[in-house]
Amino acid sequence: MGAESADASKVNIFWKIPMFEFLEAEELDRLYSLCATERFAKGEYIFLECDQPKNLYVVVKGEVKLLKQTEDGRETIVEMAYPGEIFGEEAVFDGQPYPMTAQALEDVELLSISRGDFFSFLRDNPDLALEIITELGKRLREAQNTIRALAMERVEWRIARVLLMLSRKAGVMEADGVSIDLPLTRQDIADMAATTVETTIRVLSNFKKMGLVDTEKGKIILRDRKHLEEMVSEGCRQP
Amino acid sequence: MGAESADASKVNIFWKIPMFEFLEAEELDRLYSLCATERFAKGEYIFLECDQPKNLYVVVKGEVKLLKQTEDGRETIVEMAYPGEIFGEEAVFDGQPYPMTAQALEDVELLSISRGDFFSFLRDNPDLALEIITELGKRLREAQNTIRALAMERVEWRIARVLLMLSRKAGVMEADGVSIDLPLTRQDIADMAATTVETTIRVLSNFKKMGLVDTEKGKIILRDRKHLEEMVSEGCRQP
DNA sequence: ACAACCCTCTGACAGAAGTCATGGCGCGCT
DNA sequence: AGCGCGCCATGACTTCTGTCAGAGGGTTGT
């Protein structure tokens, strides 16, 4: 493990990402040399739905909302990208326009790789392709779970699901519960649960009354995770 | 077409599938030798949600419903697999249980490849991995479109979308319109549009009154495709 | 300090779609 | 034939959730 890289600290970023962690040090170096670091302030757009695909992005710091909009301005967050995850890959791989808009949830730091560079790197590292396939499979699963949820679950359940998902991805253990360490507005949560701000607020108030969650200076704290998980029950349902 | 022994004709099956068509003839042969042909009658289950993943499947003939269920028996069809498409890949790639149930919509013929065999074949054919990545990307896009639709569109729109999708995948040009050549019940359509039979029936009746569709001996015929497409407008929405 | 703005919260009301109940039609089966 | 069964169809009623309207708190900027 004698990585003699120009910029060891940055290559380490890849090193920490499950998807890349099995690559040789020299390949990590090469991959890194193909990347550019980009920063976006909270609320800035990284790309818009229907833009021509240029880059694949890796989240280094911060979170990115991947959303779709209607003509009248309503939004749905179809996916979130957290540190260590990639986004924009659908478009990069098939050359079609980006299928959704990417917006910084807070100040983010990204690595971007151009379509062409990434492809040639991928050709030289076939095992990475397998990693990516696995990753995409995971995403598909999640998307299908979301579809099921939207199709069959009531709002409360969907919001509970969103909270649990967020706590898994960005949860911080606290004295009494798990705090979601993200600058989320109720509108954001509504967009993730495919509902309106008003209902989200109402549901969260109810959850609070029931002792399931709490809010402290903007952050949401899950007080009774187990109970929330029971409502959702992502489990198996055999016919 | 009961060619049980004519190997050449079966290898041709792969030849016709976009995903495999670029492979060398000898690789196609090898791939085929790893496959088993399986047949399922209409309504039979190919695998159940939560089953341990054994095989990757390629649809040769017929269609497969990929669905999720609730405890109380309601179903959502999260995806359909048509001839030339693969399914079960999420589970095969990451080794987790199948995320949904696969059921034959009509009598189907499948090729199945075991997890291990497919992996080794994939290792020897890195370009196939790229094809698969592209395919998964396409699926993700579709899943996200579905999410958007469920989140923001009213039932009529969603049903129109389902009809259009079906006509694209299994449409047959007719004297006056496109006929959907599948043995679909209203319940199936309801499960695809994430609604109930009753509403599906009501909406289809309205569509019929409006001259958009017609039904002839069970089959649905799209009479005014353009109009339906206008309702749906899969287009781009930039912020 | 004040305004302007965004976010949160609450109440009243409306409407889309689900639920329940019932009937008819076609088809296979004994 | 006659029966049961699955699928299509329609009406009446319910309810969940979205819509609209307004009020309060907190923060930023001038």
Question: Which pair of structure tokens corresponds to residue A211?
Answer: 């002792």
Output helix, strand, coil percentages for chain A, rounded to the nearest 5.
Answer: 45, 25, 30
B115 CB-to-strand D distance under 7 Å: no
Q: Which residue of B has its CA nearest to A193?
A: B151
Q: Which of A69, A97, A236 sits opposite B50 (nearest CB)?
A: A236
**Cβ pair B239, A51 in contact under 8 A:** no
Mean pLDDT for the stretch of residues A69-83: 92
Whole-number pLDDT of residue B239: 47
Q: In terms of DSSP bridges, do strands B108-114 and B55-61 run parallel, antiparallel, or are they unpaired?
A: antiparallel
* Inter-chain CB proximity A141 and B238 less than 8 Å: no
* 3-class state of residue B86 by DSSP: strand
Are the CB atoms for B160 and B224 separated by under 8 Å?
Answer: no
Q: In this structure, what DSSP letter does residue A74 have?
A: -
Instruction: Summarize the confidence of residues A178-197 as an average pLDDT.
Output: 96
Confidence at residue B1, expressed as pLDDT on a 0 to 100 scale: 43
Q: Which residues of A touch B126 (CB under 8 A)?
A: 123, 126, 129
What is the spatial distance between Cα A183 and Cα A104, in angstroms, rounded to a whole number? 11
Residues of chain B with pLDDT under 70: 1-11, 234-239
Residue A6 predicted with pLDDT over 90: no
Asked if residues B49 and B24 have their Cβ atoms less than 8 Å apart, the reply is no
pTM equals 0.93
| pLDDT one-digit tens code per residue, B87-140 | 999 999 888 999 999 999 999 999 999 999 999 999 899 889 999 999 999 999
Give B225 CA → D5 C1' in Å. Answer: 35
Strand C, nucleotides < 7 Å from a protein CB: these are 7-12, 16-21
Q: Which helix (H) or strand (E) holds B238?
A: none
A48/B94 Cβ within 8 A: no
Q: Give the mean pLDDT of chain A.
A: 90
Q: How many CA atoms lie within 13 A of A210 on its CB side?
A: 15
Please indicate whether, in this complex, the C-beta atoms of B133 and A136 are within 8 angstroms of each other.
Answer: yes
Transcribe B16-68 into DSSP letters.
TSTTTTTS-HHHHHHHHHTEEEEEE-TT-EEE-TTPPP-EEEEEEES-EEEEE
pLDDT recorded at residue A8: 55
Residues 155-184 of A with CB under 7 A from strand D: 155-156
d(CA B196, CA B189): 9
Map residue B78 onto helix, strand or coil: strand
User: Do A180 and A166 contact (CB within 8 A), yes or no?
Assistant: yes
Q: How many CA atoms lie within 13 A of B176 on its CB side?
A: 8
Nearest to B53 by CA among B96, B101, B87, B86: B96
Give me the pLDDT at residue B8, please. Answer: 57
Q: What is the mean pLDDT of residues A91-98?
A: 92
* Residue appearing with tokens 């120009």: A6
* ipTM greater than cut 0.85: yes
Using the C1' atom of nucleotide D16, identify the protein residue whose alpha carbon is closest. Answer: A154
Residue pLDDT, tens place only, A25-68:
899 999 999 999 999 999 999 999 999 998 999 999 999 999 99
* Strand D contact with B52 (CB < 7 A): no
B-chain residues within 8 Å CB-CB of A76?
147-148, 151-152
**What pLDDT band is residue A239 in, cutting at 50, 70 and 90?**
very low
Cα atoms in the 13 Å half-sphere on the side-chain side of A29: 11
A-B Cβ pairs (cutoff 8 Å, strict): 155
What pLDDT score does A18 carry? 87
Task: Tell me the CA distances in angstroms from B189 to A68, A166, B146, B184, one per residue in order.
Answer: 25, 33, 14, 7
pLDDT band at residue A199 under the 50/70/90 scheme:
very high
- Residue B215, CB, strand C, below 7 Å: no
Beta carbon of B234 within 7 Å of strand C?
no
**What does DSSP say about strands A55-61 and A86-87: parallel, antiparallel, or unpaired?**
antiparallel
E strands, chain A, where?
Answer: 35-40, 45-47, 55-61, 64-69, 75-81, 86-87, 101-104, 108-114, 171-174, 177-180, 213-216, 219-222
CB atoms within 10 A of CB A36: 10
Are A141 and B236 within 8 A, CB to CB?
Answer: no
- pLDDT at res. A7: 55
DSSP 8-state assignment for residue A203: H
- Which pLDDT score is estimated for B65? 97
Write the residue in B134, B138, B237 that is nearest to A69 by C-beta. Answer: B237
Rounded to whole angstroms, how far apart are CA atoms A114 and A71? 30
| pLDDT for position A9 | 58
Protein-contacted bases of chain D (C-beta within 7 A): 6-12, 16-21
Please give the sequence-ordered ranges of beta strands (E in DSSP) within B115-224, or none if there are none.
171-174, 177-180, 213-216, 219-222
At A230 the pLDDT is: 86
Partners of A211 in beta bridges: none
Q: Which residue has the higher pLDDT, A163 or A22?
A: A163
DSSP letter (8 states) at residue B181? -
Instruction: DSSP for B141-156, please give it.
Output: HHHHHHHHHHHH--HH
